[in-house]
Every structure is written in C-alpha cells, then in structure tokens.
Chains A and B, each alone.
Chain A
Amino acid sequence: MHPISLSPRRLPLAEAAFWLLLASGYFLLPEHLTLLSQILIMGLFAVSLDMALGYAGILTVGHAAFFGMGAYAAGLWAKHAWAEPFSGLLLALLVCAALGYLLSYLVVRGADLTRLMITIGVCMLLSELANRLVHITGGTDGLQGIAMAPVFGLFEFDLYGKTGFVYTFAMVLLVFCVARRILRSPFGLALRGIHDSSKRMQAIGSPVAARLRMAYCFSAAIAGLAGALMAQSTQFVGIESLGINRSAEILIILVLGGAGRLYGGLLGAIVYMVVHDWFADLNPEYWMFWIGCFLIAVVMLGGGGLMGLLARLVKVEKAR
C-alpha cells in the first residue's frame, strides 16, 4: 500500500480542515453540542498530559489532580466571587500552574517508579481532601449551584449548549495553538531530546531538570484550564473529576490517539468519547472488559495509536 504523500506546505491546510470539521459540528449535530464540548475539553486535557508524558517523558498517572483542581477553582470562583467566565479560566490556570510548579520539584527527581507513586499519591490526597471538605466542595454530591454569567456579558449559557460549545471551541483552539507553539519551539525540541536521552542532553549543556519542571508546570496549567472549562460548561464539578479513575481514563485517551504527537490527544478524545457514549447504556463491566482488551492489544501491537496509524497512511514529505 502506498502512503498518500503530503507536502509540508499543505500541512496547515490539513490542520485547518480538522478544526473546521470540528466547528461544523455546531451546524451538523445540534443535538449533541454538549457531548462535542466535552470531547473538546477531554481532548485538551489529553494534550496537556501529552506535554508531560508524550513529550517530556514524565510518567504520571495522577494528572486528574490538576484537572479537578482547575474545575474546583473555577467552580468556586463562579459560585462565591465572580460569575464572569474568563476570570475563572485565568484563576484556574494560575492556581494549577503554581501547584504544578511546586509539585514539579517532587516529581522530576527520582526514577520512573517514584514519579508514578508521587503523582498517584498527590492525586489520591487531593481527592480525599475534596471528599472531606464537604462544606467547601460539596463532598460526594459534587459542587452544585454554579451559575455562569454570560460570555462578554452578551451570550447566555443556554440549555442546548450552543454558547457553551462556541466558548469551549474557541478556548480549546486558542490554548491548543499556544501548546503547539510551545512544543514546536526550541523548548519543545529540548523536551524531545530529553525524552530520547536525558544523559545526552545533559552532556550538551541543556538544563534537563529545569526544562522538565517547566514542562510539568505548563502541562498542569493546561490541564487546570481544561478542568475549568468542564466546570463552566456543565456548571457542575463532580468529585470524580479529581480521582485516579479519571487519570487512567485520560491516559487511555492519549494512548488511543497516540502519545507524543500533537493531535493524538484530540483524536483519541473524539474516538473514546463517541464510543463511550454508544456504550453508555451497556453494563459498565462490559465496557471495562473491552477497554482492557483494547489496552492490551494496543501495547502488544504497538504503533503509536491512531496518529501512528495515520502517519503510516499519510507521509509528510521532507521539507528542503
């Protein structure tokens, strides 16, 4: 089979087509706008995990800590302080960036196993905290009664999720472009280098630990923003948004799409969420069985998920 070749100049066109296709969901699937928004948000969350795991190679199974933190930050801000949505996003971004930067000192040191444990531990700690502080977070009932003010004071969040979709789409596109810029900058290249061989990068004078800390901090900030978007668009924060199950889920989404590839998270989120939606009526145990089989198959067959498949079908010619 001959792969279709694509000249690098056409690549932005393909990207634009991808986003236009997503945007066209507004007209083509008006009954499913809420699902579409959630797909976009999970896609952004997966991209943030990709930054830490796929690019920087930090093995983390606790990324929901930041997602949930962002969601609670935005939810509480809207409930008690100011219902204007953009300020909530900014707050979640700052809170999670700060938390991520502090935690990066814990996470970046130590071997893979220690990293794994620290990230799981922090995630469990936060979800236990959210569970205990019932008077602030609502405990297992979740944070309810978030009423968002209209976007720019003009567009109300409606029942059909129209405003929610446009708002989410715009924010996800914006943040994705920033993430893309970061990952394609020299900083992103350094991360790739560290992933391939951290010793070599150290030898050529790259400040490996500092780079990893920054990557973790950025990744945390984006995950927090995704969480904030989820809180604002559903006007609810459930306790499970912090939990270890959510962390496992996002890991699955990323691997399904293809880790270490810009669009992997988004593609994975689309497929996973749609299939999950189909299976929603089915017994959750069956769903677990199939997702487990799927994971085993992905690992055994290898090949980098959907993006890996796509990369074999479509070859990008080398720029000269």
Chain B
Amino acid sequence: MGIVLFDGVAYGMLLFLIAVGLSITLGLMNFVNLAHGAFAMAGGYAAAVAMNRYGWSFFPALALSFVVAALVGGLLELLLYRRLYRSHPLDQVLLSIGLVFVSIASFTYFFGPSMQPFTLPPLLTGQVALAGMEVGRYRLFLVVCGVVVLGGLLLLLNKTRFGAMVRAAVDNQRVARGTGIPVQRLFFATFVLGCGLAGLGGALSLGMLGLEPTFPLKYLVLFLIVVCVGGAGTVVGPFVAALVVGVVDVAGKYYLPEAGAFLIYVFMVVTLLLRPHGLIPRKGL
C-alpha cells in the first residue's frame, strides 16, 4: 500500500515536471500547445545522446537537457508560436499537431525508432529505507526534484519582481502593457522556462517512461489531463493533479490491471464534469 502510494507520487512528480510548462502556455498565454511533449523529448534525447555518445555523466546531462529544450523552445517561439498568440485555438491545435508530427518523423530519422538505452548512475540505483519502506532511490530523486521545482517556481512567481510582472500580465494583459511591462518579452521568458522544465522532465523520464520518437503523442493526453484537471495557468493545480493522476494510474495498474487506462480517463471526465475549470481554478497563481 505504502509503496504503491510512493511510486504513484514519484510518477506524479515526473508528470508535474513535464506538465508545469504546459500549464504556463495553456493557462497564462492561452495557447493550446499540444507539442509540449516534443520539447520534453528534445531535452530527453539531448541528455541521452550526451550520455551514450559522449560519455557525459547523469547530472551534467540533466542540465544540458534543460538548456537544449529551452533553446529549441525559444527558437520555435520566435519563429512560429509568437504569431499565433491571438489566433483561434484551432489554429494553435493544428500548428502544434504539425510540430508533433515533424518531431516524431525527424527523431525517428536521426535516432531510429527504438527506445533510447539508459543506465541509471550508481548513485541512484538500488533502494533506500524510508519510513519503514524500501523505496527506489531514483524515485526518491524524482520526488525531491519535483518538490524543489515546485518550491522554486512558487518562490519565483510570488517573491520576485519577475513573478509579480508575470502575475500582472496574466491578470490583465492590456493593463500590464499599459503600465510598461514588456508582456511579449515576459511571455517569451516564461515559455522558454516552461520548455526547459519539460526538457528536464524528458531527461528524467529516461529511467521511468523510456524515450522513443512517439513520446510526444504517447503521453500527450496524460500531460493535458494533468493541466486541465489541475487548472491551467497555475502551478499548484498541476502539482496536485499530477500527484492524483500518478497515484490513480499506478494504483490502478497494481490493483486493477484489467481496467487499464480507464481509470485515468474516467477520473478526468468526472473531474471536469464537476469542476469544468479544474481543481484549482486560476486566481493569479
């Protein structure tokens, strides 16, 4: 029971890491970005290649995954996303589906269709005793990462000038622009940050979900569920939703394997029925 809960939480943390950037684009910038998983994949592949081909160790590769995904995100924001902030959601859906297709095809072309090989660093292998349970070190590491990122984001958004400007821009873009806040640049920075976090999540998912070219499509719905159920545009919402989704999914697979992915979808539909705007609707952040 305890270990199922813990594994679910670890899984949820991973989902949170990847999805929190999506929550920013979806909720703050009102951009339906279905290609978010592609940024996670870009970061994950960067880490995998750095480790497998160039012999980097795990932690520098993690940093690299953040940087690469942020760079890719920044480039695409300048080239494509920026022009569609005010257009119809359908256009945004199509653009991002197009990006997903292109990324799947290109990654298959360059890296082959199979899963990226990955060996855990010795520091993170094995198990450690915690509160009377034998928990995997890697999972524990994921939980620590998730909590650190959550804390960092909350501090950044609630205690810094940058965060204050973002909150102002979210509450009312026009007024924020009127007071001289550079909304465009701010959005660029937030988008890049979100992509970087996704890349980090992608690299961390090497050891848990595995990374293959179809990653952005395979887990897309999961990320979207986390964001929508949690409440797009918040940080705490996706955190709570990711934990619930992680626990429901792992517990479902453990106790009710024949139900498969059902539980998650039923959970989502029921939650959105009761709370169409998510568990924690946006009120600032």
Contacts and interface: CB of A to CB of B under 8 A. Distances in A.
A121 B95 contact: no
Contacts of A129: 262
B265 interface: yes
A44 B266 CA distance: 30
B130 interface: no
B272 A117 contact: yes
Contacts of B261: 124, 128
Interface stretch (A199-207, A233-241, A265-273, A296-304): A296-304
State the majority secondary structure of interface residues on B.
Answer: helix
A27 interface: no
A288 B99 CA distance: 10
Given A59-B89, A292-B101, A296-B80, A285 B109 contact: yes
Contact of B102 (A116, A121, A132, A289): A289
A293 B98 contact: yes
Interface stretch (B2-10, B131-139, B170-178, B220-228): B220-228
Contact of B26 (A113, A118, A248, A299): A113
Interface string B152-164: 0000000000000
A120 B105 CA distance: 23
Given A285-B104, A292-B98, A106 B273 contact: yes
Contacts of A255: 90, 94
B127 interface: no
Contact of B84 (A293, A294, A299): A299
A111 interface: yes
B90 A53 contact: yes
Given A117-B228, A125-B265, A289-B106, A110 B277 contact: yes
A286 interface: yes
A109 B277 CA distance: 10
A121 B93 contact: no
A286 B106 CA distance: 9
Contacts of B91: 299
A83 interface: no
A121 B269 contact: yes
B268 interface: yes
Interface string A250-267: 011001000100000000
A61 B224 CA distance: 13
A202 B15 CA distance: 40
A89 B206 CA distance: 47
A299 B104 contact: no
Contacts of A244: 221
Contact of A299 (B95, B102, B224, B265): B95
B182 interface: no
Nearest to B268: A121
Interface in A205-251: 244, 248, 251
A31 interface: no
A245 B102 CA distance: 15
A114 interface: yes
A295 interface: yes
Nearest to A291: B101
A300 B261 CA distance: 36
Contacts of B26: 113
Given A113-B232, A116-B93, A292-B99, A128 B265 contact: yes
Contact of B101 (A116, A125, A295): A295
A314 B265 CA distance: 46
B193 interface: no
A300 B84 CA distance: 8
A112 interface: yes
A274 B167 CA distance: 49
A59 B94 CA distance: 11
A122 B270 CA distance: 11
Contact of A293 (B93, B102, B262): B102
14 contacts: A110-B276, A110-B277, A113-B232, A121-B221, A125-B265, A125-B266, A129-B262, A248-B97, A252-B94, A259-B90, A285-B105, A289-B109, A292-B103, A295-B95
Interface of B: 26, 32, 80, 83-84, 89-91, 93-95, 97-106, 108-109, 113, 221, 224-225, 228, 232, 258, 260-262, 265-266, 268-269, 272-273, 276-277
Given A121-B269, A251-B97, 4 more contacts: A106-B272, A112-B32, A114-B272, A299-B94
